[in-house]
Structure 1
C-alpha cells in the first residue's frame, strides 16, 4: 500500500499533530489501524440502524493487496481527545482520476467523528493539508476509498438500515461539513423495490416490441472469470460518461471476481444480448448486512457459521443490485430501456425463489433521469440519499 504503512509495520513513534485539546495521529501501526477501524463502535452504540461492518473486510480494504493501491495513494489519521478516539479520516489521491480528468482533485473518506466542530475542523483540515501539499486544488468526498467502492455521506434515510457496501451516518455530519466550507457536488440515490410489484403496461409494451432482438442468460460459475470479464467490459462502456467515472482495472476486476464468487448465485446475475452481442447485465447479491447485523463485526469464533447458515439455509429477505449497465450505444433508446427491463425482469423469479421480498438498487445519480424513470416504472421508491461534497483548497 502506498503512503499508508501496512498493518505489520513498526509502531508509530513520531509526534502527533495537535489542534487545541485534540491530537491528530497518523495511522502507521497495526494498533493504530485497529483504533481507526473500531472508532464507529463508540459513535453508533445507541443507533439501532447502524450495522457493525466486518472488521476483517475493513482491514483488507487497507491491505497492500488491495489493487486500488496500484494507482492510488492514501493516508489515514485518528483524532484523540484526552487519549480517547473521537474522529477519523482518510485522504486519497488517485492517479487514474487525475489522468482522466486533469482537475487536480484529491479525496477524503472513512469520515467518522463526534458532534464537535473542532473535531471536524481538525480532521478535515488534516486531509485538506495532505492533499494541498501534493498539488491538489480541490478535495471531494467521502469515498471509502474510491468511487467504485462505498461512497457518499448519508443525508436522508437515517431511519432505515443500510444495505451492504452502503454507508450510514449521523444527521449532524452534513451540517458539520457545511460549517467547514464543504458544498454539495452530487447526490446519489438508493431505491427500494418490492419484488412482487407487477410490470407497468408501458414496460410490457416495450418488452413485447423488442423480444425478438434480446436474449438473456445467467452467469456461469464454470466460466465465471470469462463472464465477469464480459460484465465489466459492458460496465466500463456503460458508465464511461457518468460523473466521476473511473474504470475498473484488470487487477480490480480479478480481485472483485474472487470476492463475488463466494457470494454470488449464478441465477442472480444475468447478461443480455442484442443480436448475439453482450449489451447489458445485472449483478444482484443477497444483502450481506442482513446476515451480519448481530455479529458485532467478528466472524470468529462462531460468526462465520451463523453467516453461512443465514446465506445458505435460512436465506435473506433483502438483496442489493450491486452492478447494472446498458451499453452506451443503446442508452436513451427504446432498446436500451428494454435491455434494462429484461435483465431486471428475467432475474425477478430467481429473486422470489430465493425468498427475497425487497431489493435495493443503488447507487443512482440524481440527474440520471433515464434510469430513475425505469426504476420507478418498476415500482422503485427513493428511500435513501447520499451526498458527495467538495471544497476548493
Structure 2
C-alpha cells in the first residue's frame, strides 16, 4: 500500500537524497548530485535559505520500497519581493505511476495550503537562482553543470495532476567550429570603443575573491530584477553560492566590466563539472569520488555560459558582445568542444536572437508549471 512519510531525521534525509540514484540507475544520462551538497542544502542551519523561509520533504513508499520524493517550499523572500503568494514544489522524482505522483503532489499542496499560499509552482529547488524547471525536450545526453534532468514521463504526470505551463526556458548549444565568432574577432575594436567611456573588461581577481564577489552580487541583483519570478539573493545566499562556484571556476571565464572602479556588468561560464560528476557513484566523494574530482577536472571539454548581465544604463553599448567575444576566445584557446548557454526565458528575444545569430542551436527546453491551490 502506498503511503507518505514526512522526512524528519538524518537517516530519512539520506534516503531522500539517494532515491534518484535508484530511479535512474539504468539511465546513462543521469548525473548524481553530490551527497554532501544536497545534505547541506536541505538541512536547516547549513544553508542560508532556511533563515528566511521553510520547506518540508516527503517520501512516497509502496510497502517498504521508496517510489517517489518531493519538497514543499515556502519562499518568503520570493513572495515579498514579487508581491505574490506562491508556494513551490521541488526535488520531485517519481516512478512512472500517476497514483504515486498524485500522492506526492497532493501532500505538498496540502502543506502549502496550511500556510495559506495560493499557487503551487515548480519544479523549483528553493528559487530560480537554484536548479529549477522540468526537462521537456532534448533527452539525448547528460545535463550540463547545474541544470536539471528527468525522465520524459514527468511532464505527463504533472499535467494529469492539474498543472499547466507557467513559462518555458531554453538551452542553446555551441560546438567547436560551428558558430559565428564575429564578436570574438571584433573584441579589440569593441574594447577600444568601451575604453573611450572609461569601461574596461578584466578577469576576476581570485586573490581578492571576497571583495569581487560582493561587487558581482550587487550587479547580479540589479541586472536580473525584471526577470520572471526573480528574487535577489541575500548576502549569505550569494556568498554560499560563490564559495561553491569558486571550486570549479576558471578565471578566464569569469569577466567583469568596470567603469572607474565600479562593476557594471559581468559574465560567468563554468566548466561542465558534470563530465566528472557522472562518474562519481551515488554522489559520494569518498572513497574515490574526491580523487576523480581533483584529477579529472582539467580534462573537461565543455562549459556552461551561466550568467551574463549588464546593469541598466550600460546596455547596448557593446559590453555584452565584448563579454561573449572574450569567452569565445578563451573557449578557442583551450580547444574545448562544446558550450551551453542556459537558461534563457523562452520569450526573451533580446537575449535569444543574438545567441541564435552567433550560431547557438536551441537543443533543449525546460518548463516551470503551476497550479491554483484555491
Q: Same fold (TM over 0.5)?
A: yes
Is 1:317 the equivalent of 2:298? no
Map 1:92-171 → 2, pairs under 5 A: 92-171=73-152
Aligned residue for 2:258?
Answer: 273
Aligned residue for 1:304?
Answer: 290
Decide whether aligned partners of structure 1 residues 94 and 142 sit closer, same or farther in structure 2, where only a CA change above 3 A counts: same
Structure 1 length normalisation: TM-score? Answer: 0.89
Match among 345, 369, 377 for residue 349 of structure 2: 369
Map 1:37-76 → 2, pairs under 5 A: 37-63=17-43, 64-76=45-57
Distance in 2 between the 1:229 and 1:355 partners? 32
Distance in 2 between the 1:52 and 1:368 partners? 31
Displacement, 1:260? 2.1
Map 1:183-262 → 2, pairs under 5 A: 183-197=164-178, 199=180, 208=189, 211-213=192-194, 214-262=199-247
Decide whether aligned partners of structure 1 residues 221 and 130 sit closer, same or farther in structure 2, where only a CA change above 3 A counts: same
1:98/1:104 contact within 8 Å kept: yes
SS at match of 1:148: coil
Is 1:22 the equivalent of 2:7? no
Distance in 1 between the 2:48 and 2:307 partners? 19
SS at match of 2:313: helix
Q: Highest relative contact order (Cα 8 Å, sep 6+), 1 or 2?
A: 2
Aligned residue for 1:287?
Answer: 272
1:195/1:348 contact within 8 Å kept: no
5+ residue gaps, structure 2: none
Distance in 1 between the 2:261 and 2:35 partners? 43
2:24/2:30 contact within 8 Å kept: yes
Structure 2 length normalisation: TM-score? Answer: 0.93
Aligned residue for 1:7?
Answer: none
Deviations 1:96-141 (A, max 9, x none): 1111122211100000001111101100001110001101011100
Displacement, 1:143? 0.8
Displacement, 1:198? 5.4
Aligned residue for 2:312?
Answer: 328
Decide whether aligned partners of structure 1 residues 107 and 339 sit closer, same or farther in structure 2, where only a CA change above 3 A counts: same
Deviations 1:132-176 (A, max 9, x none): 110101110011122111000101111111011111111110011
SS at match of 2:77: helix
- Root-mean-square deviation (CA, aligned residues, Å) is 1.9
* Count of equivalent residues: 367
Distance in 1 between the 2:132 and 2:55 partners? 16
Displacement, 1:356? 2.1
Displacement, 1:353? 3.4
1:139/1:391 contact within 8 Å kept: yes
1:141/1:389 contact within 8 Å kept: yes
Displacement, 1:323? 2.0
1:280/1:327 contact within 8 Å kept: yes
Distance in 1 between the 2:11 and 2:236 partners? 29
2:184/2:329 contact within 8 Å kept: no
Decide whether aligned partners of structure 1 residues 206 and 308 sit closer, same or farther in structure 2, where only a CA change above 3 A counts: closer
SS at match of 1:246: coil
Q: Which moved more, 1:190-199 or 1:89-98?
A: 190-199
Aligned residue for 1:379?
Answer: 359
SS at match of 2:331: helix
Distance in 1 between the 2:21 and 2:125 partners? 17
